[in-house]
Amino acid sequence: MTASHVDIVLATLNARYIHSAFGLRYLYANLGELQSAAALLEFTIPERAADIVERILRYRPRIVALGVYIWNVSETAAVVAMLRTIAPQVRIVLGGPEVSHPPDLPDMARDTDYIITGPGERSLPELCRDILQDDPPEAQIIPGIPLPLEQLELPYRYYSDEDIRQRIIYVEASRGCPFKCEFCLSSLDKTTKPFPLDRFLAEMEFLLQRGARHFKFIDRTFNLNTRISVAILEFFLNRMRDDLHLHFEVIPDNLPEALKAALRRFPPGVLQFEIGVQTFDPEIQQRISRRQNNDKTRENLRWLRQYGNAHLHADLIFGLPGDRLENFAHSFDELVALQPQEIQLGILKRLRGAPLNRHNDAFDMRYNPLPPYNVLSTRDIDFTTLQQMNRFARYWDLIGNSGHFRHSLPLLLGERPFHRFLRLSDALYQTSGQTWKISLRRLYRLVAQTALETLTPPRDTFIAALTRDHAASALKGAPPFEHPDSGKQAARLISNRRQQRHRSKT
């Protein structure tokens, strides 16, 4: 099957189908007169490179521009290698965070004609015009030149009806971040800049009218500018639907009264806040240039949990320079006490260009050479401990974040959540030998067995709580573990059978 010929293919590999390529839509929106000669293609990382290349080459393009991110760098490299072999006449252009910090570039850069570093809304159309006019630049590295936000063509009309029905709709009310947290590429920004508010809200109205209900804001600091944050919240409050869902990234120590007043008006189930706590350790915060008022963070999380009606997803990072199990345990226990609905435990990753790399020698930071470039050991944490924490994070997702253990989780955690869950995690791995492909029924059985053996909670109370959790799940049938009364029932049954046998003999 041959597609219509276009000169330019914009493509990327999403992590999953439900995700949509926001960056590609920005590039497509800003191609100007070249838009009619371009196609936007989205793939997913499980797809075979040969199938992706076949679909791209159906368009017989002269230029293929690929977005490269930490989640798709290996798969994109396979696509680039195959494109170079099958269609050497095609000019390959790369952009995205994984190729924006030369000379720290992935190996696929050698097979690439051009690399655009940073924003591409202006630089990509200029490069494409030069190539199509047979006047290509000699330099491989093309600096991305940012356009003023008021000059950018917005991408929202390029979400298809299928996107709106089936995918997450990404939006942004601002770009940049004024904070300098060294683990994050946003620390390279000078400041944050809002899009013109009236224009942005008009685009949100357009999406709502088309049926969009799930909006994920990618702003790094949504609640930084209170006036704009409240205006956006008021916009959605005035257009409330039962199925509306809004996701924001917020900084934890900035919750002024005007914002609280708006948040109180939202019903449960609409708002989700991703809150980057990362660490409560003031020494590490200072080392990585993270400005966070820990007392205010605690106060705000308590308020949000009590009054805010938002689902709270709080982030912690393990493996930062100077991290040890003990100080991480303190951060974890503090966050557990604040009771966000989810605690995301991330293992530190090496991002190309991130200022955190300046600590690599002093703290002997050793990273996986393959994506996602997770830290393997540091001066203070050995490889075995990091493996242990990788398993901890996975089991925490299955047990702590899943909602399947709501009644039994407090009994698992007790007064020392980190150390008790670490013991449980180690025991689960020793028993099962795996952290993936564990069915929920088997997980209930494993948790019951290992917790009773390892943590020794009050048996009857724990099994009763676990039975309530099982009953609240979608699983059918009896719980795959012993109910607190089942032992007594079994003993009575055995006694009755013995008495019956005795009577029959007499």
| Burial of 70 per CB tally in 10 Å (0-12, 13-18, 19+) | middle
Beta-bridge partner residues of 274: 249, 313
Q: pLDDT tens digits for 41-71? A: 999 999 999 999 999 999 999 999 999 999 9
Beta-bridge partner residues of 248: 273
How far, in whole angstroms, is CA 428 from its chain's centroid?
25
CATH superfamily for 8-149 is: Cobalamin-binding domain (3.40.50.280)
Q: According to the model, what pLDDT value does residue 435 have?
A: 96
With contact defined as beta carbons under 8 Å apart, do 363 and 379 qualify? yes
Structural domain boundaries in the chain: 8-149, 159-381, 405-506
SS3 labels along 367-384: ECCCCCCEEEECCCCCHH
Calpha distance 426→283 (Å, rounded): 29
Common-topology check for domains 8-149 and 159-381? no
With contact defined as beta carbons under 8 Å apart, do 206 and 157 qualify? yes
* Torsions phi, psi for 425 (to 5 deg): -60, -45
Q: pLDDT tens digits for 442-494? A: 999 999 999 999 999 999 999 999 999 999 998 999 999 876 444 344 334 33
pLDDT bracket for residue 4 (50, 70, 90): confident
- Mean pLDDT for the chain overall: 93
Q: For a pLDDT cut of 70, what percent of the chain falls above it?
A: 95
Calpha distance 330→285 (Å, rounded): 14
Calpha distance 86→155 (Å, rounded): 32
Calpha distance 477→4 (Å, rounded): 55
Q: pLDDT tens digits for 425-442? A: 999 999 999 999 999 999
Decide: helix, strand or coil at residue 290: coil
DSSP symbols for 410-443: HHHHTT-HHHHHHHHHHHHHHHHS-SSS--HHHH
Pairing of strands 141-143, 169-171: unpaired
Q: Which of 42, 38, 16 is nearest to 29 (CA)?
A: 38
Handedness of CA 300, 306, 310, 314 (dihedral sign): positive
Of residues 330 and 2, which shows the higher confidence score?
A: 330
Any idea what DSSP says for residue 4?
A: P
Calpha distance 168→164 (Å, rounded): 7
When pLDDT is averaged across residues 190-195 and rounded to a whole number, the result is 85
Q: pLDDT tens digits for 220-266? A: 889 989 999 999 999 999 999 999 999 999 999 999 999 999 999 99
Exposure class string for 192-209: b at 16+ Cβ within 10 A, else e: bebbebeebbeebeebbe
Exposure class string for 411-423: b at 16+ Cβ within 10 A, else e: bbbeeebbbbbbb
User: How crowded is the C-beta side of 200, counted as CA atoms within 13 Å?
Assistant: 21
Tokens of 390: 């990788």
Calpha distance 13→4 (Å, rounded): 22
Can you point out the beta strands (E) in 284-327? 311-318
Give me the CATH code for the 159-381 domain, please.
3.80.30.20
pLDDT bracket for residue 133 (50, 70, 90): very high
